[in-house]
Amino acid sequence: MKILRLEAENFKRLRAVDITPKGCLVQITGRNANGKTSVLDAIWAAVGGASHLQVQPIRKGASKARIRLDLGEIIVTRSITPKGSTLTVENAEGLAYKSPQRMLDDLVGALSFDPLAFTRMKPKEQFDQLRQIAQVDVDIEKLDGLNKRDFEQRTQVNRDLKIAESQLDAMPAPSQEVQPVDVAALVDRQQELLVEQNRLQLVQQQRAGKERQAAALREELERIREAFAAKKAQLATLEEEIGASGDEADHLSDIAGDLQGLALQIRQAQQTNNLAAEVRQVESRRTELRARVQDLDAQSKALTESMETRTRAKMDAISRAKMPVPGLTLGEGMVLFQEVPFEQASSAEQLRVSVAVAIAANPKLRVIRIQDGSLLDDTSMQLLADMAQEHDMQVWIERVDASGQVGVVIEDGEVMADHQAEAQPPRPVSLDTMDALRRGEQPLQDIEDRGEKPVVDVRPYNPPTIPDLDL
């Protein structure tokens, strides 16, 4: 189904246009700001629904707008007022459809898809538009976002895992088992000996004092002969006491030796206990590191599994999607063609693929709209015309041209001239198609709609009836 006639009044920059397209390539030309874009927008406004109308669809100074699109099998009429728009869809017999927009939604594919605009989009925009056209049934962007988050998290987990493993490998295992010693008992014994030592030291100090006192008395005894008797008795007593304290001195020496030995034992016990504590601490740290290594390894594997699951879901969804062109697929936020980013393809290849996408996306209404057609050179225009002819598409293309000698010329919202090339002469059909026509398997109307014509009469042959003769 194609556009046989477009009529538009007071829509955007248009005053009144009446265009009957000829051939597969319909060029809308003229100077800038004269209504060329409005012609293409009128096609979409007629069939796309009221929600696609722009803020000011009515020409300035007019009270209403009207668009009429003759598609052969149906006629679409949209009337627009400041309060809204009304839609009427009639069949060839003039009967109106009860749900016109629903009927058009089923008919219209990706009429809003502009192949030339698609080639100039950023990779992410191309990705989003192709995803909509191909009807991918999962949120690829969300899956990629989750995979990116898990990838970053897994990177950190793997980094921590390597650090933990290196720490565990570098930590020496204990060479022998060390049993702790009861230091408290040794300290108690040490305190007892210290008390005894203090007592004996006091006794020793007292003995020293008595020795000094005895010496003084001996001197006094020498000086004072007359008091010899009394002092001699006192001296005897003191000497007796001094003799008794000799055993205490020997005991003091023994205690000092014991204290020295206990101090050595205590130091050794403390060193042993410190070593045992270090061994326990090392073993505890090794246990913690082993548990952390296992936990980080499990986290890394879980993240990897989640990422792989999402990737499989994305790839399955892409494989289920109906890509309009063989070799075209969706990568990481970009469109790929033949496994290469689409933006790296040549300009001709990009245009060819984009037009092929538009063709495949519009299986019922065989119409493509292209704005900014002035960007296409003669080679690209010929490529576009050839593809339109080959695939039986009608391409409406807007181009800036001041000569007034190309296509449908729009000036100040009206058609000033129509220089469309006459329709191409019918192409002869293939032999296979001829056979199909003869067998009645191919309707003749379909062939003529494609601009083809049988080279011979293919009407079914009915031999004449010969009457019986009485000879």
Tokens of 256: 């000092």
pLDDT greater at residue 255 or residue 52? 255
Count of Cβ atoms closer than 10 Å to residue 91 Cβ? 12
Q: Which secondary structure element, helix H or strand E, spans residue 239, and what is its range? A: helix 228-244
- The single-letter code of the amino acid at 408 is V
Q: What is the DSSP string of 275-317?
A: HHHHHHHHHHHHHHHHHHHHHHHHHHHHHHHHHHHHHHHHHHH
* Distance in angstroms (rounded) separating the CA atoms of residues 206 and 235: 16
CA pseudo-torsion sign 444, 449, 450, 452? positive
In angstroms, the CA 394 to CA 189 distance is: 111
Coil/strand/helix, residue 172: coil
Bridge partners (DSSP) of residue 6 are 19, 69
Mean pLDDT of 76-81: 88
Tens digits of residue pLDDT in 130-149: 777 766 666 666 777 777 88
- Residue 202 CA to residue 180 CA, distance in Å, equals 37
**How confident is the model over 288-336, as pLDDT tens digits?**
888 888 888 888 888 888 888 877 777 776 666 666 677 777 777 788 8
CA distance 166 to 292: 12
User: What pLDDT was estimated at residue 463?
Assistant: 37
Tell me how crowded residue 320 is: count the other CB atoms within 10 A of its CB. Answer: 12
Q: What is the pLDDT of residues 17-43, one digit of tens each?
A: 898 998 888 888 888 888 888 888 888
Q: Is there a contact between 436 and 74 (Cβ–Cβ < 8 Å)?
A: no
Domains of the chain: 5-111+362-424 (3.40.50.300), 138-320 (no CATH), 426-471 (no CATH)
Q: Do 370 and 398 meet the contact criterion of CB atoms below 8 Å apart?
A: yes
Beta strands in 176-322 (DSSP E): none
* Tally of CB atoms within 10 A around 297: 15
Question: Taking residues 72-84, what's their average pLDDT?
Answer: 87
- Over range 63-88, report the average pLDDT: 88
Mean pLDDT of the chain: 77
Judged by average pLDDT, the poorest of 155-159, 272-276, 431-435 is: 431-435
Closest CA to 33 of 58, 17, 13, 8: 13
pTM, rounded to two decimals? 0.54
Rounded CA-CA distance 219/239 in Å is 15
* pLDDT of 250 strictly over 80: no
